[in-house]
Chains A and B, each alone.
Chain A
Amino acid sequence: MFRGKTLIVLMVVAAIAAAPAFAQDTGNADFSRFVALGDSLGAGFVSGGLVRGAQEDSVPALVAKQATGQDIRQPYVEPPGLPPLLRLVNLAPLTITQLPAGGAPQLDLNPLHQNLSVPGYDVGDALRDRDRGPTDLASFILAAPPSPNPPTQLELALAQQPTFAIVWLGNNDVLGAAVSGRVIEGVTLTPVSQFMADYSAVVGALKNSGADLVLATIPDVTFIPYVTTIPPVLVNPATNQPVTIGGQLVPLIGPNGPLGPNDRVLLPASAALAQGIGIPQAAGGTGQPLPDELVLSESEVSAIRSRTNAFNQIIREVASQTDSPVADIGGLLLEGAGNGFDLGGIEFTSDFVTGGLISLDGVHPTPLGYALAANEFIRVINQHYGAHIQPVDLYRFIFGSDASAIPSIPGASIAGFVFTEEAGQHMREVLRVDRPSTAGGGNGGNRDGGAKGRGIGSRLPGRIH
């Protein structure tokens, strides 16, 4: 009897001791009905696809878990992912390819997802996109029954009468210009006036419904590895050092002649360069120019930068009008691309493959990168709402547990790489940037409103379970 009593006392004590671990002080922020609006970044898109492991650690899921101890409802894709994820198969030359599809994607859907982030969505899509078939990515994420007039991302958020919402939109309003190598006003780049109207409308509607919000700045995508990894001059793949002829660097050839030092060559150009395209004949290449969609000219870079700054200014203005904090995700990327992050003596940067913060698609963060972003959201939520939410523990993202799954590696130096044609095509599909039939064609992008979320969705089977 004594033992029984002791046991009960111990259990009560244990229960009391265990309880506070989940009851974080969320201050004035009420996480009881939490939703997230966003795009691929909010969805936890990694290495060219959506897959359960990474989705479970999406930024909205991490923030909500830290605040409440609860998991949120998200639409999950089982491995190998949708689309199947990219993987690194060889170090020298560094080769990235796509996992085999292995049959129809396996989905695990919930009614009324809290994380409503749809890869490919720009701000206008969050507000207006209803034009989607039953097999589109947007359909399974937003998971509304098929109807002639399905709800938008915003409407589905409002339907949950949210007390708190993450709004992490705007990334795709500039990303298309960077990955397509073409700046086309209204096609790859959203006009400022339209962005202002749409962004204010989304945030205003949520605020008016009574939700507290956290917003986020958008990164300057001219600093992502997709844009920064290949220099505009010839590099010896064996040494990873620039080639010089007569003491001079050898500029690659772009659509308008030799590239300048501030022009950018996009990641998928590695396949063309491997065939000698873009390399002067004098240096052993074919002398053919790299096509326009593989090059961002200096003026295109500066157009993207100034548009990013304009959007971020709008985001900050809307935040101040609605009394909402802003997570500086744009600043995080700049830090990663600059000095990097030092975690206990380990340096992490946004460098491609070796940096640890950006995944193999050269655009989206790794799970560690997302966890750092979640901590930035938590930091500003704590500051603004007087909350004391603990930051996400990064240890498991750095040391993990699956270190055994390392394939054998031929070769002996980490230099040069091939982002395979397959991988490049895959990224264009994911990012909904078609190869133009003619260089510089005005209809090069198929980003006319409402088409987002289809590139992937077209691969979906009709059967969703």
Chain B
Amino acid sequence: MRSRWTSWIEPLLIGALVALVASPAFAAGFSIFENGSKAMGMAGAFTAQADDPSAMFHNAAGLAFQHERAFQVGTTLITNSKGDFEGAPPFPGAGQNGEQDDTIFYPSHAYWVEPIGSNWTFGLGFNDPYGLGVKWKNPDDWAGRYISYDVSLRTFDLNPTIAWQASPSFGIGFGVIGRWSDLELNRRIPFLNPFTQQVQDIGDAQLSSDLDSGYGWNAGILHKATPRFSWGLSYRSKIKVDYGGDGRFTQISTGIAALDGAISAQIPFDQNLPIKTSIEFPDQASLGLAYQVSRNVLVETDFNWTGWSSFDELPIDFTQNDAFDSSVPQRYEDANNYRAGLRWTTSPQSQWRFGYVYDESPQPEASVSALLPDANRNGVTIGYGYTGGLDFDVAFMYLKFDERTRNEDFPDGDVFHGTFNTTAYLLGLTLGF
């Protein structure tokens, strides 16, 4: 017979293992909003419902109304069906195109709900609310290889939550977030050959961080104002993660032994050089309004705000080799997204869900780049949920990024003009026990 301990730790461990792969940016910026397949079926318009364990992510107050022990574990398969770049002058220029590798990512989630007494509920959540994976094909030719040819960012949140049902219609919730994150950036090192006055690759740079952590909090309220109407408000704080790690340069031959020798005398190849960087993950606030249109149909609209202006630059500090320091200006702006969802209950066991999201990009035109080509997105979703015996929720999202053209630069930034086109498919599956 299993103890209580092993019965909840297992789903969490599975979730953690499944999540140990890079996740791409699939809400604007590098936020991932798909942390539960029920909510995903309604395009994330869930703040005023929050009626499953994923409430820990969508609105902690939703837990206040959950009075039975529950476990959920799930994942969202994400694949780029398209990630193209077409260069424009002055650099890299017409004909300098790029294509992203087709990679499958699976940010994952697990939740445990444990009632304590009649009005209090404890929850422990695990999810991946931020992630980024942009990998370009043909790193030898890719015109953006000195910026990035393969970048990944992973985050893992552990989110203990407590919620209190203050009245039959009003709940509040509060949680503490521990965030573990790492990132890796691969790029090439350019060199101006003084004899030809042309640029060649002389090395490969791999910058990888340790798994470092930061802490924050979240809170929410949920009010079932009338039998038909409810509203919710949810907030997740900024979290700053300071990373340590190593930069490692590997030499690429120019084809001339003497020049290679001159270069290797200047650059410490094949050594681990200590680096530091930091990312301040933004705070997020959501307001949701839900209305029971009929006995079987509920609609919700959500407004989400993300304080993306926290992401101002990505500094890479070589603590013992200042000559290799770099800083890429990002200058993100706060951004909104708008979500609408509908759920149609067809039987006590089954529910169909539909949704639409318009996700505004926080990325100013001048920082659209090989590192992270973002754009406004339109997503449509369909989902299905079944309860009885084994509970499961599935959801599918088609996400179309607006074509994004960069034609301007920061005065202190780089020049990389062209047009990015991205389309993605997301498939979510969450199991409940």
Report which A residues bind B (CB closer than 8 A): 88, 91-92, 94, 339, 341-346, 348, 353-356, 359, 366, 368, 371-372, 375, 390-396, 398-400, 402-403, 405-414
Contact = CB atoms under 8 A, between A and B. Distances in A.
B92 interface: yes
B197 A356 contact: yes
8 contacts: A343-B415, A356-B199, A359-B197, A391-B89, A393-B93, A395-B93, A403-B196, A408-B256
B96 interface: yes
Given A394-B93, A395-B93, A395-B96, A342 B413 contact: yes
Interface string B176-207: 00000000000100101111111110000000
Contacts of B268: none
Nearest to A344: B416
A412 B262 contact: yes
Given A366-B197, A403-B200, A343 B91 contact: yes
A394 B90 contact: yes
B379 interface: no
B21 interface: no
B259 interface: yes
Interface stretch (B125-133, B141-149, B162-170, B382-390): B141-149
B49 to A, nearest CB: 45
A74 B116 CA distance: 88
Nearest to A345: B146
B44 to A, nearest CB: 35
B322 interface: no
Given A342-B415, A399-B199, A410 B258 contact: yes
A406 B146 contact: no
Nearest to A91: B262
Q: Taking each of B96, B196, B413, which has the highest tally of chain A beta carbons within 10 Å of its own beta carbon?
A: B196
Nearest to A407: B195
B265 interface: yes
Contacts of A408: 256, 258
Given A345-B190, A413-B262, A406 B91 contact: no
B366 to A, nearest CB: 12
Q: Taking each of B144, B255, B258, which has the highest tally of chain A beta carbons within 10 Å of its own beta carbon?
A: B258
B256 A409 contact: yes
Contact of B256 (A354, A395, A406): A406
B9 interface: no
A344 B187 CA distance: 11
Contacts of B200: 403
A428 B308 CA distance: 57
Given A391-B89, A409-B256, A354 B192 contact: yes
B144 A392 contact: no
B323 to A, nearest CB: 12
A390 B89 contact: yes
B395 to A, nearest CB: 38
B136 to A, nearest CB: 12
A400 B192 CA distance: 12
A393 B94 contact: yes
B414 interface: yes
B262 A409 contact: yes
Q: Taking each of A355, A356, A371, A399, which has the highest tally of chain B beta carbons within 10 Å of its own beta carbon?
A: A399
B193 A343 contact: no
Given A395-B93, A409-B262, A413-B265, A88 B195 contact: yes
Contacts of B91: 343-344, 393-395, 398
A91 B194 CA distance: 9
Contact residue range for chain B?
A: 35 or more
B261 interface: yes
A398 B199 contact: yes
B36 to A, nearest CB: 38
A413 B87 CA distance: 36
Q: Taking each of A342, A348, A356, A414, which has the highest tally of chain B beta carbons within 10 Å of its own beta carbon?
A: A342
B89 A392 contact: yes
Interface in B236-295: 254-256, 258-259, 261-262, 265-266
A375 B199 CA distance: 20
Contacts of A345: 144-147, 187, 190, 414, 416
Given A342-B415, A345-B187, A413-B262, A402 B146 contact: no
A372 B92 CA distance: 13
Nearest to B144: A344
A339 B199 CA distance: 19
Nearest to A351: B192
A391 B88 CA distance: 9
A406 B195 contact: yes
B68 interface: no
B140 interface: no
Nearest to B417: A391
Given A398-B199, A411-B262, A344 B193 contact: no
B307 to A, nearest CB: 28
A258 to B, nearest CB: 31
Contact of A339 (B93, B370, B412, B416): B412
Contacts of B416: 343-345
A395 B143 contact: yes
A342 B414 contact: yes
Given A344-B144, A344-B147, A354 B194 contact: yes
Contacts of A372: 90
A371 B91 CA distance: 11
A371 B89 CA distance: 12
Contacts of B145: 345
A408 B195 CA distance: 10
B198 A403 contact: yes
A409 to B, nearest CB: 4
A270 to B, nearest CB: 16
B90 A391 contact: yes
B276 to A, nearest CB: 20
Contacts of A91: 194, 258-259, 262
Contact of A344 (B255, B265, B412, B415): B415
Contacts of A396: 93
Q: Taking each of B91, B187, B262, which has the highest tally of chain A beta carbons within 10 Å of its own beta carbon?
A: B91
A292 B143 CA distance: 48
Nearest to A395: B93
A406 B90 contact: no
B90 A412 contact: no
Contact of A406 (B87, B193, B370): B193
Interface string B389-433: 000000000000000000000001111100000000000000000
Contact of A402 (B94, B196, B414): B196
A400 B194 contact: no
A414 B266 CA distance: 9
Contacts of A407: 195
A387 B144 CA distance: 29
Given A412-B265, A413-B265, A394 B147 contact: no
Given A88-B195, A395-B96, A346 B265 contact: no
A346 B262 contact: no
Nearest to A335: B411
Given A394-B93, A410-B258, A346 B196 contact: no
Nearest to B187: A345
A51 B190 CA distance: 28
Contacts of A353: 194
Contacts of A346: 146, 190, 192, 199
A351 B228 CA distance: 71
Contacts of A406: 193, 195-196, 254-256, 259
